[in-house]
Amino acid sequence: MENEKTKIGEEFERKVYEELKAKLPKEAIIMRNTYFATDNYINCELGYKTLQMDIIVIYKGVFVIECKFLTNEKYTKIENCKTNNKKYKGRLCAYRFIKGKETRIKKSLYGLNQNESHYRFLREILRQRFGFVTLKAITVFGGISKRKLKIKTVKQNNYISHESDLVSYLKRAFGTWSFASMNENGMDQLIVSDPASINYLMGRLMNPGERLMVLVFDAAAGKTELVISKLYPQGDNPIWPVTYVDDVDDCVAILSEKIAEIGVIGIDKNWAAKFLLRLMELRPNLTYKNGSYIIDKIRQIKTKEEQEFMIEASRLNDLAVERLIKEVNKGYTEKELADKLLDIYHDLGSEGFSFYPICCYGANAADPHHSNDDSTGKSGDSVILDIGCLWNGYCSDMTRTVFLGNVSEEQKKVYNIVKTANERAIAVVKPGVRFCDVDAAARDYITEQGYGPYFVHRTGHNIGQEVHEAGDVSSVNTDILKPGMTFSIEPGIYLTGNFGVRVEDLVLVTEDGCKVLNHFTKDLIIVPEK
């Protein structure tokens, strides 16, 4: 009988696996695990061992499918569980398929609730890191009658024994995703050091300064570990194992114990040379490669939650620039104008600057990255306001150019050219278009109007947790736009010693086009002199 049940279970697993594999894109990762397990309450009730099968599918969502087989009854219906709890979106629920009918378990899967630590861990994962959209769970029971199971008398903690298992599986899912990407790029190990990337992976922003902080992904061993200073304790339930180092330790020597002696290792961007050179001394036979793009490519695709943060940051930025424009005629220096902006951001409830703003008058505006000084505005000046704030750790960035007192015909002409270039670039943004095509839409128009030599920078840059993230809108970037990408479009014309004009918006790539995140007018504005 047991062999028969095993055979039925294995056949069911195969069918589920093949069905999922056929429906999912090739980029999806499918993990499965089949084993005999003892379910205490079933054993007490029926005296059976169960064949348990777990499948995790990773692709813009995680599907956890748990199948238990007790008899030879076959079930071919596989449906995704949904939750009706809007407050706790993504909360885990389970359905039992009994005699072809589904009965919802009132308690969330594994007996978790919103106050328990493991549930909080799962919620952290459900913050849509790695493109996870939701976590769905199915429990399928084969051959258990409703009468024998006595659903109404089943205790709420039936699944508590599996709680740690799910946590373990999800940890493996993180690793599997990273390892798959590493394998595709010929890397055995990967060191991630960028605080923004670590925050993205762990949901915790830590800036260690001169101290060591790295995540080590080991594809060969199938594990991930955090190596970090003792000054940054991770609590009792860290996502990954942690090795703590002290200020007086040879930190890289301790790290090297986690690093293979041969193979290919990816190194994250901006890892201090003092750490990298020391590791190269200790592991001279390794091949070192730039591994930044492993995480950066994923960070380029903003989750729904991230998108909402950036939309709100840009809304606040729209309000801020409207208030800042009213200050440009009050005799403030460029530095004082930046100080006023910080006050505005705090008043609006933002977290402050996403970068130090560029507020510049007249000839200073002809320098694309002018550092604010003690200059004040005069009649006829163009005034560039390149500003951005933070909301929930995500950046906004926009530029508006206004004119103080009056505007010349040349200034008006240049302004309209830059504005049109901005609008033309935005118009071509949609999935499948290349970044270089967006750049060309702006650059070619400015060139046609005779100002090509005065457009001296790329058209834009990617943005998210950092104001300048990996990826840009330039003539050499042939990467394809994908839904969820966010970047700036900021053409400009700079006439040295005279004036400059830049108009910048952020855009979010959607399924069929793009959403412009900035809504403050781009009509030419003349601020009256006092």
Residue 396: is its pLDDT beyond 70?
yes
Above pLDDT 90, what percent of the chain? 56
Tell me which of 22 and 349 has the higher pLDDT: 349
Q: Are residues 476 and 341 in the same domain?
A: yes
Rounded-to-integer distance, Cα 313 and Cα 140, Å: 44
pLDDT band at 237 (very low <50, low <70, confident <90, very high): low
The residue ranking higher by pLDDT, 117 or 365, is: 365
pTM beyond 0.75: the answer is no
311 part of a folded domain: yes
The number of distinct structural domains making up the chain is 3
Q: In the predicted model, is pLDDT for residue 40 greater than 50?
A: no
> Is 90 exceeded by the pLDDT of residue 80?
no
- Confidence band, pLDDT 50/70/90 cuts, at residue 76: very low
Mean pLDDT score of the chain, rounded to an integer?
Answer: 76
**Same domain flag for 324 and 452:** yes
d(CA 253, CA 280): 11
Task: Assess whether 307 and 292 both reside in one domain.
Answer: no
pLDDT band at 112 (very low <50, low <70, confident <90, very high): very low
Token pair belonging to 225: 């570990």
Q: Is residue 167 part of a domain?
A: no
Q: Are residues 368 and 490 located together in one domain of the fold?
A: yes
- Considering 275, 299, 323, which residue would you say is the last residue of a domain? 299
For residues 289 and 399, state if they share a domain: no
Is position 424 within any domain?
A: yes
Report yes or no on 175 lying in a domain: no
* 4-21 confidence digits (pLDDT tens): 545 555 565 566 566 556
Residue 121 has pLDDT above 90, yes or no: no
329 and 429 housed in the same domain: yes
Query: Considering all CA atoms of the chain, what is the largest pairwise distance in Å, rounded to the nearest integer?
Result: 93
Per-residue pLDDT band for 317 (boundaries 50, 70, 90) equals: very high
The predicted pLDDT at position 24 comes to 57
Select from 278, 299, 320 the last residue of a domain. 299
Question: What DSSP string runs through 441-483?
Answer: HHHHHHHHTT-GGG--S-SEEE-SSSSSEEEEESTT--PBP-T
Whether residues 307 and 258 fall in one domain: no
Please report whether residue 178 resides in a domain.
no
244-283 confidence digits (pLDDT tens) = 999 999 999 999 999 999 999 999 999 999 999 999 999 9
| Pair (238, 117) in one structural domain | no
Structural domain including 283 reads 185-299
| 332 located within any domain | yes
500/370 same-domain check: yes
Per-residue confidence (pLDDT) for residue 18, from 0 to 100: 67
**Tens digits of residue pLDDT in 19-32:** 556 655 565 555 55
Residues 254 and 315 in one domain: no
For residue 231, the domain's CATH number is: 3.40.350.10
Task: Give CA separation, 352 vs 168, 205, 308, 345, in Å.
Answer: 38, 16, 18, 6
* CA atoms of 414 and 446, how far apart (whole Å): 9
480 inside domain? yes
Q: Has residue 168 been placed in a domain?
A: no
Q: Name the H helices within 285-408.
A: 292-300, 304-325, 334-348
pLDDT tens digits, residue range 288-315? Answer: 999 998 888 888 988 787 899 999 999 9
Same-domain status, 375 and 462: yes
Q: Which domain CATH number covers 399?
A: 3.90.230.10
% of residues, the chain, pLDDT over 70: 66
DSSP state of 127: T
- Residue 133 and residue 143 in one domain: yes
